[in-house]
Amino acid sequence: MTKQFSQKALEDFNLIDQATKRNDEQAYAELMKRYKKPVYHMILKMVRNVDDAEDLTIEAFAKAFKNLKRFKKDYTFSTWLFRIATNNAIDFIRKKKLETMSLDTSFQDDSGENITIDVQDRGLNPQEEAIKSQKIELVRVFVDKLPPKYQRLVKLRYFQELSYEEIAKELDAPLGTVKAQLHRARELMYDLVKGKQQHI
């Protein structure tokens, strides 16, 4: 039986073809534009922290775009992307041992199909540890392309995993300045995720 996809899902498939076959930067940008907000809001519900949700949204798109050539059109792009984003957020939650209302989450893909993601309560297995290492390497690719003034900030946040307060203390800078500069650094990283895929 042939699965019926919505018009939006078919448009996504076309954008994916443009992105992977012609390395069309506009196609990557359009995919991010379509799903950045819903992915962010889903992650925010899981981690309940605006700054962490923004970080994890960048990571989700970076991982999805890096693996876009492996995407098979058995499911909608939104289903695939949300699973990547959810798994990434779960990895973060386990690592931080955050208290959450529930790790069970669900959403509707573009075909109206309910997707439920069940989470087992366990520590990181070797495969998850490998994914975590790949994620760090993925982010490192973008960090090295940032202007020098942002690189140290991002490394303290992503690699040393310091809080905003700890970064402000480390750099002897006002907390507001640290937050503003990290926000700008994230915007630059979004641009790199969207438009510099040929360099990954």
Give the count of alpha carbons within 13 A of 160, CB side only: 13
Instruction: Give the model's pLDDT for residue 39.
Output: 94
Nearest CA to 86 among 129, 50, 123, 115? 115
* pTM tops 0.85: no
Residues 6+ apart with CB under 8 A from 24: 18
Q: Cβ distance 189 to 146 under 8 Å?
A: yes
Question: Which CATH number does the domain 7-199 belong to among 3.90.960.10, 1.10.1740.10, 2.160.10.10, 2.102.10.10?
Answer: 1.10.1740.10
Those residues of the chain that have pLDDT short of 70 are: 1-2, 97-139, 195-200
Domain residue spans of the chain: 7-199
The DSSP code sequence of 82-101 is HHHHHHHHHHHHHHHT---S
CA–CA distance, 62 with 158 (Å, rounded to integer): 14
Q: Cβ distance 82 to 109 under 8 Å?
A: yes
92-142 pLDDT, tens digit each: 888 776 544 444 555 556 666 555 554 444 455 565 566 556 666 666 777
Instruction: Give the model's pLDDT for residue 157.
Output: 83
What count of other Cβ atoms lies within 10 Å of the Cβ of residue 189? 25
Segments of 37-140 assigned E as strands: 105-108, 114-117
CA–CA distance, 142 with 63 (Å, rounded to integer): 12
